[in-house]
Amino acid sequence: MASIVKRGQSWRAMVVRKGRRVNATFDSRAEAEEWAIRAEAAILAGQAPAKLAPVSGKQTVADIIERYSREVSPSKDGVRWEVIRADALRRIPAFNVPPSAFGPQELAAWRDQRLTSVATSTVNRDLNFISAVINHAMKEWRAPFAANPVHLIQRPKNPRARKRRVSAEERVAIAEALGWDRASRPQNRMGWVAVAFYLALETAMRKGEILSLRWQAINLEKRYAYLRKTKNGDERYVPLSSEAIALLRIIGPGSGAESVIPVASETLDQFFRRARDVAGLPDLHFHDSRREATTQFSKKLSNVLELAAVTGHRSLNVLKDYYRPDPSELARKLG
């Protein structure tokens, strides 16, 4: 049963159903009545009615961002980074306004100020997140945005795609900086970071894919690793080269091990950055391993679709950014 009561300038809706009591406050009776109907249906369906509450006219864009990070982000693989980004954005005064007052002019002013302190790629990631929040809020919470302002401003141009590759000497330098002998199972987390880098160089897997990999998902006889979910949201089978299989045999599953690389993402980032500095390679990124592996695979796989199947790229335009051949090698092929 639902009851709608006016409290001052607001309307309070209360629903009591199946022993549960929930309530919410709205700016109009119509909003309260609609919420009450949906809340009652949600309780009967065993859902959480609080998540059905529309956005109140008193809520700011910052409030909506916080709600998104609390209710929507946990269902995503990138939850950690979304929560961090949401926490930073909701503290910015430009977002402490109601949705109706948050338009392209306000967003463009924030964009320009943000560009003075961070790279364009970071701003574009912020804009992607803001756009996702607003789209969800408009569709699911009836947030009173006139339109999605992200679609109405000019995005900053991302820098040129990286061309950095990884030489054989640099591989060895990273392994030595991390204290791994390249011939035995690591004894500490630094060694496991080195193994992760070598495995990336032999498979073109992303860092997150490597850290999510489990021994039960590897078939050494049939020479593949199974990734249940990748960055693109798809499952993928990763063919294993002889070098990759040899590396996996060196580290072995160990006693009761499940994770192939038993290291947290933050730990890997910290140790790898420290190792590259020790090795005198400050411009080297872990992700450069994916570009190096893709380029090496291209020498063995002449069919671009086969190459995309190995690397997991869904777009050939993106795949092109990871293919960085040596011009002299191409000249030799021409004869």
Catalytic residue numbers, as ranges: 206, 231, 313, 322
Of 121, 132, 134, 55, the C-alpha closest to 95 is 134
User: What secondary structure, in 3-state letters, does the chain show?
Assistant: CEEEEEECCEEEEEEEECCEEEEEEECCHHHHHHHHHHHHHHHHCCCCHHHHCCCCCCCCHHHHHHHHHHHCHHHCCCHHHHHHHHHHHCCCHHHCCCHHHCCHHHHHHHHHHHCCCCCHHHHHHHHHHHHHHHHHHHHHCCCCCCCCHHHHCCCCCCCCCCCCCCCHHHHHHHHHHCCCCCCCCCCCHHHHHHHHHHHHHHHCCCHHHHHHCEHHHEECCCCEEEECCCCCCCCEEEECCHHHHHHHHHHCCCCCCCECCCCCHHHHHHHHHHHHHHCCCCCCCCCHHHHHHHHHHHCCCCCHHHHHHHHCCCCHHHHHHHCCCCHHHHHHHHC
Q: Which residue has the tokens 């961070």?
A: 118
Tokens of 180: 């791994």
